[in-house]
Amino acid sequence: MILRSLSAFFISLVLIWQDGGLSTPQDQKWLMPDLTEVEAKLLGINQGEVSFEKPNGELFSLPFRELTSTDQAEVMRQTGWGRVWEDDSGKYHYIADLVSVSGQQVTLENVDGVQVRVDITRLSKSDQQYVEARRTTADTVLPDEFTAKVVGVHDGDTITVLLNNRQYKIRLEGIDAPELGQDYGTKSKQHLSTLVFGKSITGNRKGGDKYGRNLCNVMVEGTNANRSLVSEGLAWHYKTYSRDKELAAAELDARKAKKNIWSEQGPIAPWEWRKWSSAQRKNFIDSPRAAKPLLANDSEPPVIKPNVEKPKPPAATGSYWLNTESNVRHNRGCRWYGNTKRGRPCSSNEGKPCSKCGG
């Protein structure tokens, strides 16, 4: 599990506030990165950005990580997003939101949208109790018809809403959007964010899935969000589970117009992508796409995507290397020096020392 150390003060502060419930957003003072105070109302958090509104109506946003620990805790308290998770040893702490629970597997999502899975037995006793409490029906199931505010967008077909001071996960019914690692996965999420984030939506619950999410049709300002994603070529009609004629027609129109995912030759459906190993996914991304027509009557020549070399981390130089995912510092004698997925050279006082090499 990707872990990040926090000060004892921050940990105790957040844990106290988490039990205090959610509050109605109101104007209050927030400390900016330049140490000036700004009076504003908190609107929500999405994709690592915290949105605010000043008394004069001016909107602005800041990265969650640039807020003070006190303001980070206040954002979590007001929005209901996130929790400081602790492992069973009590040594490591991680800020993330609970996405789902399936058997012993707990899925968490950090402020950057990165999801990790951890066995429930690896969590502290209090976190285990928190997870178990959220297995109950009362904590996860929305009414058949409801109006709620969207406080989180996880990808192109999954959102979090706030209703009666409680968070609920929603999976948009009848569609399947590209995964974030796929082509158009980020664009699909951005489209849904623009459409619903921070807004009041009306929903019609059709059922639930094995991850405890509510399967819903979502309306926002007169627009059907499910259909909008399919119409824009940013999601598939999930025909395995849906016989919706309007979604089927919307996908056919998007295919004919070659919108977004349908502009690609042989786009891989997300339900197939999820079956692939990480190596298969990497090979697909790095290799030229096979010539495969979108439609049976598509007579245009195939378009082959060239390989694009992905940027590499900076070369390891100097005496220390910082893993920017875990914030752990390694010295030159460590096996992880210059050998992490994300990292950079650093000074001797950055990050926390590696428990193996001493940093």
Give the pLDDT confidence of 312-343 residue by residue, as tens digits: 555 555 678 888 878 888 888 787 888 887 88
| Of 189-203, 263-277, 326-340, highest mean pLDDT | 189-203
81, 151: one domain: no
27, 62: one domain: yes
Cα 186 from chain centroid? Answer: 10
50, 165: one domain: no
CATH number at residue 114: 2.30.30.700
70, 90: one domain: yes
CA distance 61 to 37: 14
Active site residues: 171, 179, 213
24, 128: one domain: yes
**Sign, Cα dihedral of 245, 250, 254, 260:** negative
Residue 349 CB contacts under 8 Å (≥ 6 apart), including other chains: none
Domain boundary among 254, 276, 301: 254
102, 186: one domain: no
Instruction: Give residue 302's pLDDT.
Output: 37
Domain count, the chain: 3
Which residue pairs from 115-120 have beta carbons closer than 8 angstroms and sit at least 24 positions apart in sequence?
116/1, 116/2, 118/1
**Does 235 fall in a domain?**
yes
How sure is the predictor about 254, in pLDDT bands with cuts at 50, 70 and 90? very high
243, 358: one domain: no
CA distance 120 to 137: 19
The overall average pLDDT reported for the chain is 80
**Does 86 fall in a domain?**
yes
Domain around 324: 311-359
Of 3-12, 186-195, 316-325, give the lowest mean pLDDT range.
3-12
pLDDT tens per residue across span 134-147:
765 445 789 999 99
Q: Is residue 193 scored above 80 in pLDDT?
A: yes
Angle at 162 between CA 222 and CA 80, to 5 degrees: 145
Indicate whether this model's pTM tops 0.75.
Answer: no
16, 86: one domain: yes
Domain boundary among 135, 153, 186: 135
Instruction: Report the b/e string of 42-77 with b at 16+ CB within 10 A.
Output: bbbbbbbebbbbeeeeeeeebebeebeeebbbbbbb
Q: Is residue 355 scored above 90 in pLDDT?
A: no
Of 86 and 285, the structure prediction assigns the larger pLDDT to 86
Q: Is residue 347 scored above 80 in pLDDT?
A: yes
pLDDT tens per residue across span 21-67:
444 457 889 988 888 889 998 877 776 788 888 888 888 888 888 88
Q: Is residue 4 scored above 60 in pLDDT?
A: no
Report phi then psi at 40, rounded to 5. Answer: -160, 165
Where does the chain have alpha helices with state H?
8-18, 69-79, 125-133, 137-140, 185-196, 225-231, 245-257, 270-273, 278-286
130, 144: one domain: no
Name the 3-class secondary structure at 310: coil
**Does 91 fall in a domain?**
yes
Q: Is residue 309 scored above 60 in pLDDT?
A: no
Report CA Rg, the chain.
22
**Does 269 fall in a domain?**
no
Instruction: Give residue 82's pLDDT.
Output: 83
28, 66: one domain: yes
**Does 237 fall in a domain?**
yes
CATH number at residue 175: 2.40.50.90
42, 82: one domain: yes
**Sign, Cα dihedral of 235, 238, 239, 243:** negative
CA distance 12 to 87: 15
**Does 70 fall in a domain?**
yes
Mean pLDDT for the stretch of residues 236-262: 94
Instruction: Give residue 305's pLDDT.
Output: 41
**Does 228 fall in a domain?**
yes
Domain boundary among 135, 165, 183: 135
Report DSSP state, residue 81.
-
pLDDT tens per residue across span 198-248:
899 999 999 988 778 899 999 999 999 999 999 999 999 999 889 999 999
Distances (CA, A) of 245 to 144, 242, 259: 22, 9, 19
Residue 182 CB contacts under 8 Å (≥ 6 apart), including other chains: 268, 270, 273
Mean pLDDT for the stretch of residues 164-173: 89
Contact 353, 359 (CB under 8 A): yes
CA distance 327 to 342: 10
Residue 173 CB contacts under 8 Å (≥ 6 apart), including other chains: 206, 207, 215, 216, 217, 226, 242
58, 90: one domain: yes
**Does 302 fall in a domain?**
no
CA distance 224 to 146: 15
